Amino acid sequence: MELFRIRFINKIRPDTLEIRYRAVLESHSSDTIFEGHQLFLRSYLDPTILKSGEVALKAIYNIFSATPKNLLLDQVSFEQSHDRSLLEVPSKQFFDQYIQDNNMIDRVITHAGNDGHPIIDTKLVTELRIG
């Protein structure tokens, strides 16, 4: 098994909202294994998926679908939006539930809880970037 991390960066402009993401290996080489972006025109946007953070979780699902199964997600870094009424970071609870509901538990770091069920240890980091 090999570890990787994902970083999300967003750009909110008057007419558009762009979400960029990059997955890199957690090794000395830090090779990029997946890179993508989504561009939304604000005049045609239903912000529900952006306010919940689900748009990021769907991007993670796509990364899992396109990468080998021996890669485990160690950390996800989100850039906190300056306009939280438009774009929000998913909660840890929502992330964990999305992973379980979409049968991706074997792609994240876990340990067994007291009841034997997996507990997700993948770290979610929220950064407030200035500038």
- For the chain, the domains span 2-127
CATH number assigned to the domain covering 2-127:
3.30.420
pLDDT value of position 99: 97
CA-based diameter of the chain, in Å?
Answer: 49
Token pair, residue 123, equals 């770290």
| Rounded mean pLDDT, 121-125 | 96
Length of the chain: 131
Give the pTM. 0.91
Q: Decide if 119 contacts 110 (C-beta within 8 A).
A: yes
pLDDT value of position 129: 67
